[in-house]
Amino acid sequence: MLDDRARMEAAKKEKVEQILAEFQLQEEDLKKVMRRMQKEMDRGLRLETHEEASVKMLPTYVRSTPEGSGTTWAPHPEAAVGSALMKHKKLPLGFTFSFPVRHEDIDKGILLNWTKGFKASGAEGNNVVGLLRDAIKRRGDFEMDVVAMVNDTVATMISCYYEDHQCEVGMIVGTGCNACYMEEMQNVELVEGDEGRMCVNTEWGAFGDSGELDEFLLEYDRLVDESSANPGQQLYEKLIGGKYMGELVRLVLLRLVDENLLFHGEASEQLRTRGAFETRFVSQVERCSVSTRAAHMCSAGLAGVINRMRESRSEDVMRITVGVDGSVYKLHPSFKERFHASVRRLTPSCEITFIESEEGSGRGAALVSAVACKKACMLGQ
């Protein structure tokens, strides 16, 4: 009888392992994702293919000097901030905006679409800075000069740059997932000029929207996508972001219950409720196939960015720092370790340092704003 029970338990365990094995990605799978990401990045940078590219590669108008010895953001941020405050009667304002924006300048950008489940009417297709300026004007009880809008990845990169001047990549792994990096201006066809570098907001969350990830999507992924606020969009982000991770785990648990492999085949009403299993619960689990896949998928994207940078610069070995922020990266007990290890395996000719951003979104936006103010003051003299 004990032998029968042991055999039954062993069979159950084997079945569970088979189900969870669907989330495993082999090294060749990750290289395939990386190469496809690089292809879409290239399409996003080119003028003739930009509109059809799933990875939009949006110019941010945050630039570096042609010789690469510094950046247009201030070498002494405290001096720039002081100068900005003293010379402006209106209080200068910069802000972080974590959605896809087509910049026309540092203080002008058109919202392309909402992501991460957000929806608000009257914003898509309009200048976000202009909308904010109009709202401030309507209030009429204070004066502010909106001088800059930056993506949260850009703010993270700039904030971390002041800790490490080799930081040329910014990444967020939280509710959503995105990255930016310093691209050679000669490759940024949407902006005139070939000298120096410009920070590009990849908006890689939409990678896969044109079918690039179809072979890697599981039934759980399709269910999460179908029930989301934007079906068929942001598919790469839905494999990684914290907004979706808890729901993916819930769907896996439900399958285990339905196949009588968990909880004696009985699921609680809460477990059967969409959205009830929050990502913060996943962050309390050391070993999780869903979050491990997320870490590996994310590593393929970042490896694609970093390898592209090295090849563009014709460097045999490239040393680079990546600034990172986001709740999944910071709070999950094993995501960071698995992510780092996978990135380094996929970038053998790069020496990568990762640093966590502290209050990066606010600080980075403040630094860009200070430089924008200083530049405006110099032009006005």
How many angstroms separate the CA atoms of 205 and 46, rounded?
19
Helices (H), 55-110: 77-87
Strand (E) or helix (H) holding 183: strand 177-184
Give 171's contacts (C-beta < 8 A, 6+ positions apart). 153, 156, 177, 178, 179, 180, 302, 322, 323, 324, 325, 326, 329
How many angstroms separate the CA atoms of 6 and 8, rounded?
5
List residues with catalytic annotation: 116, 152
Residue 104 three-state SS: strand
Locate 127 and state its tokens: 């200048």
Strand (E) or helix (H) holding 310: helix 289-313
Locate 238 and state its tokens: 């839905």
Residue 45 three-state SS: helix
Residues 19/23/24/26 CA torsion (nearest 10 deg): 130
Strands 318-325 and 167-173: parallel
How many angstroms separate the CA atoms of 141 and 163, rounded?
38
How many angstroms separate the CA atoms of 126 and 220, rounded?
35
Locate 223 and state its tokens: 């269910």
Residue where the block lists tokens 């802000």: 95
Q: Report whether 94 contacts 369 (CB < 8 A).
A: yes
